[in-house]
Chain A
Amino acid sequence: MRRATAADPYRQVIARLTQRGVRYVVIGMAGINYYASTPAETFATLDYDLFLEPTLSNVGKAVRALQALGLTLGTSDGALRPEELAAVVRDQRTLVATTPDGHMVELLLKISGFPFSELARDAATVTVRGVPIKVGRLTKLLASKRLAGRPKDRQFLHRYAASLQETAAAPPRKLKRAP
C-alpha cells in the first residue's frame, strides 16, 4: 500500500481520484482559494472539501481510491465500516478522509443551494503541477455559503467582501520587466 506522505497530499488525492474516474468538485474555502490572485488573498482552512456525485458507485470508488492511498475514512460516528457506506450515501452524510500526516479531506454528498450536477456543469479546471483539478465557480461557492447561513459563513462573507473591496481599491500591480 502506498501512503499519502508526499509534500502535497491534496494534489496526490486529486490525481488518484481522477485516475479512478471519480466525479468531484472542490468546494468550500479550499475551492475559493483557487480564485485568489496572490497568496495574500488566500484564507486559512484546515481541511480540503470535495463535493462528490452522491451515487453509491461514485462514492465507493472514491473511498476505495483514498483507502488505497493510505487515508483513513470516517464519519461523525467514527471509522467507516464497509457495510454502512450505502446508508452514508442514502443519508448524504459527510465522510472525512485523513492522511497519515493528519491532513483532512472532507467528502460532502450535499451542499446548500446546489445539486452536484449544477456545480459540476460549469466547474473551472485549474492545474497543480500537471494535475487537473475541478473547482466550483466562485460565485456558486460563495452563494452556497450565503445560503448555509451559519455564523461562521456569514463572518467569512464579511471578510471576503472586505478582501474584494481592498483588491478593487489597490493600485494595479506593476509587472516586472524580464531581464
Chain B
Amino acid sequence: MGIRTRITSMARQRGMTAAELARRLGLYRSNLSAMDAGTRSVSLKTLARIAGALSCSPGDLLEIGGLSEPRVFRGKTLNRLLVARDQQTVDGADRAWTHAALLAWQRHYRHPHAPRHGR
C-alpha cells in the first residue's frame, strides 16, 4: 500500500489551487494528484517543501488510514483503472456536455422516440 497525502485539500483550505501550489514549488500538478492517490511516492524532502509552502507540518499532509487502492472491485486492475479515471478529472474542467447528455437521457426515457446518445 502506498502512502497517501492530502496536499490538494490542504492547499484548498489555504485558498490555493493545486496548480498554483505546483507552480510555486516547480512541480507538476499531476504529480501532486498522484501523491494524494498514493500512486506516486513522495520523499520526505519534497513533503517538507510542500508543508513549508502550505505553512503546516509534514505530518498534516499524510492521509491516515486511507486506502491507496479502493476496494470497489475485486480485481486490482479494475481498481487501478478506477483510480486513473478518478484522477483524470482536473479541477475546473468544463463539463457542460455532461449535463447535455444527462438531459438527453431524460428526454429519451420520457419521450422514447427522441434521439438517443450514450450508453
B85 contacts which chain A residues (CB < 8 A)?
A: 35, 37, 138, 164, 167
Tell which of A38-46, A76-84, A85-93 binds the partner.
A38-46
Q: Which of A127, A142, A161 contacts B70 (CB 8 A)?
A: A142
In the complex, B28 has a CB within 8 A of chain A: no
Are B102 and A128 in contact, with the CB atoms below 8 A? Answer: no
In the complex, A61 has a CB within 8 A of chain B: no
Are B81 and A34 in contact, with the CB atoms below 8 A? Answer: no
Q: Which of B72, B89, B99, B105 contacts A142 (CB 8 A)?
A: B72
- State which size class the interface on A falls in: 35 or more
Q: Which of A30, A135, A161 contacts B73 (CB 8 A)?
A: A161
B83 contacts which chain A residues (CB < 8 A)?
A: 139
In the complex, A25 has a CB within 8 A of chain B: no
Are B109 and A46 in contact, with the CB atoms below 8 A? Answer: yes
In the complex, A68 has a CB within 8 A of chain B: no
Interface size on B, residues (CB 8 A): 38
Whole-angstrom distance between the alpha carbons of A150 and B89 in the complex? 27
Knowing A127-B93, A138-B89, A164-B82 touch, does A42 contact B99 (C-beta < 8 A)?
no
Are A165 and B78 in contact, with the CB atoms below 8 A? Answer: yes
Which one of A10, A42, A128, A133 has the greatest number of beta carbons of chain B within 10 Å?
A42
Whole-angstrom distance between the alpha carbons of A179 and B54 in the complex? 43
Among residues of B, the one whose C-beta sits closest to the C-beta of A163 is B119
Chain B contact residues, majority secondary structure: helix
A46 contacts which chain B residues (CB < 8 A)?
A: 106, 109
A133 contacts which chain B residues (CB < 8 A)?
A: 95
A residues 37-70 with Cβ under 8 Å of B? 37, 39-46, 48
Are A128 and B95 in contact, with the CB atoms below 8 A? Answer: yes
Are A164 and B81 in contact, with the CB atoms below 8 A? Answer: yes
Q: Which of B36, B71, B108 contacts A122 (CB 8 A)?
A: B36
Among residues of B, the one whose C-beta sits closest to the C-beta of A44 is B105
Are A143 and B70 in contact, with the CB atoms below 8 A? Answer: yes
Q: Which of A33, A122, A163, A165 contacts B98 (CB 8 A)?
A: A33
Which one of B72, B78, B104 has the greatest number of beta carbons of chain A within 10 Å?
B72
Q: What are 27 residue pairs bridging A and B, where the CB atoms are less than 8 Å apart in the complex?
A: A8-B103, A10-B99, A10-B102, A33-B98, A34-B98, A35-B86, A35-B88, A35-B89, A37-B85, A39-B97, A40-B119, A44-B119, A45-B102, A45-B105, A122-B36, A126-B98, A128-B94, A129-B94, A129-B96, A138-B86, A140-B70, A143-B72, A157-B72, A163-B119, A165-B78, A167-B81, A167-B85
